[in-house]
Structure 1
Amino acid sequence: MNIDLSYEIPNAKEYNNLRIISGLSPKDETASEIGLRNSIFMITLRDSDKLIGMGRIIGDGGCMYHIVDIAVAPPYQGNGFGHLIMSEINKYLDNHAPKSSYVSLIADVPADKLYKKFGFDYSAPGSVGMAKRY
């Protein structure tokens, strides 16, 4: 398996396709284009030209960072690609996030086990994740 690692922004259609096949919710195409363009950091994995994995960081680039869109296409899961994506994200944060930065993510189970390997811990009961969808 020859997988190419890149920091290029995928197009909105392939981004949404990966989200859907990975079990994440689809996003509006216009919103996807804006969101992808405004990412702080992006990593993508491709098998030939096909997007098979990704992850990104959003936030203000100083105080707050939020890890989102950690996704690996089902046929490629179980091969360490999620770990590779998180390693690259962690490396970026180690080199760019100022001291006292807050880095957060919302973990779907069982992916929480992967995130714990990178030093993330549950915020409850002191705080809990909340969401509002449009």
Structure 2
Amino acid sequence: MRSAAASCWTEAVQPTLALEIPGNDEYRALRTAAGLSLMTAEGAAIGLAASWSSVCVRHAGELIGMGRVVGDGGLFLFVVDIAVTPAWQGKGFGRRIMQALMDDIRARAPSRAMIGLIADGTAHELYAKFGFRHVAPGAHGMLLRLS
């Protein structure tokens, strides 16, 4: 059983952000906790290893937020998996994750690279703060999910 002192210390620990790739199980659990679709363990194992950039936010070792960039690294990059567990939403972690990913993109991607994303719900408001703009009506985002 935890002592009261140990419990207070854990609560005082501030979440930390680091450029790292999450583990398969924690990645899949955070996606579903944050309301994103469930991914297969097989797909996650392949996809996570191919991350161009990845950020994790941890509190006392537990994954509470993440974001990744995938793509060819030269011409096209795509921001994916921006997720924060519900207990930590609304505290600026989505913005911190995006800032870390954008800092990495600006540091490593060549000029004229195209950075894309699909914004769920009202997330477009966050992404607009980083310079992302709707492409319609000149273009339309499309998605096909294999079953």
Indicate the TM-score class for this superposition, using the shorter chain for normalisation.
over 0.9
Q: May I ask how many residue pairs the two structures share in their alignment?
A: 134
Structure 2 counterpart of 1:41, one-letter code: S
Q: Which runs of 5+ in 1 are unaligned?
A: none
Q: Distance in 2 between matches of 1:130 and 1:81?
A: 28
Deviates further, 49-58 or 4-13:
4-13
Q: What TM-score do the two structures reach when normalised by structure 1?
A: 0.97
Secondary structure, counterpart of 1:39 in structure 2 = coil
Q: Distance in 1 between matches of 2:17 and 2:102?
A: 15
Structure showing greater Rg? 2
RMSD, matched Cα: 0.8
Q: Name 1:127's counterpart in structure 2.
A: 139
Q: Which runs of 5+ in 2 are unaligned?
A: 1-12
- Extract structure 1 runs of 4+ deviating beyond 6 A: none
Measure how far apart 1:5 and its partner are. Answer: 1.2
Match for 1:63 among 56, 71, 75?
75
Q: Name 2:89's counterpart in structure 1.
A: 77
Q: What TM-score do the two structures reach when normalised by structure 2?
A: 0.89
Structure 1 counterpart of 2:111, one-letter code: K
Secondary structure, counterpart of 2:44 in structure 1 = helix
Q: Name 2:114's counterpart in structure 1.
A: 102
Match for 2:26 among 3, 14, 23?
14
1:21-60 equivalences under 5 Å are 21-60=33-72
CA displacement 1:71-92 (0-9 Å, x = unmatched): 0000000100000001001101
Q: Name 1:3's counterpart in structure 2.
A: 15
Q: Distance in 1 between matches of 2:142 and 2:81?
A: 17
Q: Distance in 1 between matches of 2:134 and 2:40?
A: 30
Q: Distance in 2 between matches of 1:91 and 1:7?
A: 11
